[in-house]
């Protein structure tokens, strides 16, 4: 399996032809590939939540309550490409990607580098294409990882009922 290969699962991909347990190969299905640096952004660990600080008038200084093992919501941007041999295939792949992946809202992603890690992501928006030709488009997906603590689990914790399988 090539290092650039990644897989996507949403409620809309569960019954697609070629899907294995709801997972589809992003390149085979949509012509989708990650740009240089996108994998490192995906692999970046989430930061810790900041503690709760109180400054009581009856005490000197401040009191801080912290839980260093609690992770903060993570915002990430993934630069992706959709490739196709011709205009018709490009439009078909693009429309399928939008309707089957982005419209679902919640997306699970795993990568060939470490297929045991599943990223549970929420689609936020897509920035305007920075390159567009009839066979190729480059754009940036804005995503949110609401529960970075579950990225190493394939379970359903924190995932909406419609994504649980």
**Does some domain include residue 48?**
no
Number of domains, the chain: 1
Query: Which string of DSSP letters, residue by residue, matches 24-70?
Result: EEHHHHH-EEEPTTHHHHHHPPPPBPPPEEE--TTSSS-EEE--TTP
pLDDT value of residue 121:
93
Q: C-alpha 76: how far from its chain's center? A: 8
pLDDT value of residue 26:
92
pLDDT value of residue 154:
53
pLDDT value of residue 27:
92
**Does some domain include residue 149?**
yes
pLDDT value of residue 59:
85
**Does some domain include residue 161?**
no
**Does some domain include residue 46?**
no
**Does some domain include residue 64?**
no
Residue-number span of the structural domain to which 130 is assigned? 6-41+74-156
pLDDT value of residue 85:
93
Give the number of other Cβ atoms within 10 Å of residue 118's Cβ. Answer: 20
pLDDT value of residue 157:
43
pLDDT value of residue 58:
87
CATH of the domain at 81: 2.40.30.210
Q: Are 26 and 83 in contact (CB under 8 A)?
A: no
Cα–Cα distance measured from residue 108 to residue 163, given in angstroms and rounded to the nearest whole number: 9
Show the tokens assigned to 139: 């754009």
The low-confidence residues of the chain, meaning pLDDT below 70, are 1-4, 152-165
**Does some domain include residue 163?**
no
């Amino acid at each position: 399996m090539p290092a650039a290969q990644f897989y996507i699962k949403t409620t809309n991909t569960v019954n697609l032809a070629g899907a294995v347990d709801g997972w589809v190969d992003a390149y085979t299905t949509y012509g989708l590939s990650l740009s240089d640096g996108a994998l490192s952004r995906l692999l970046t660990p989430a930061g810790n939540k900041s503690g709760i600080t109180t400054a009581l008038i009856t005490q000197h200084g401040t009191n801080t309550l912290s839980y260093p093992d609690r992770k903060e919501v993570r915002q990430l941007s993934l630069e992706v490409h959709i490739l196709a041999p011709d205009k018709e295939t490009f439009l078909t792949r693009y429309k399928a990607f939008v309707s089957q992946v982005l419209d679902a809202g919640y997306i699970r992603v795993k990568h060939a580098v470490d297929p045991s890690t599943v990223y549970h992501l929420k689609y936020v928006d897509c920035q305007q294409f920075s390159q567009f030709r009839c066979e190729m488009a480059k754009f940036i997906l804005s995503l949110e990882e609401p529960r970075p603590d579950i990225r190493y689990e394939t379970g359903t914790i924190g995932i909406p009922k419609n994504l649980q399988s």
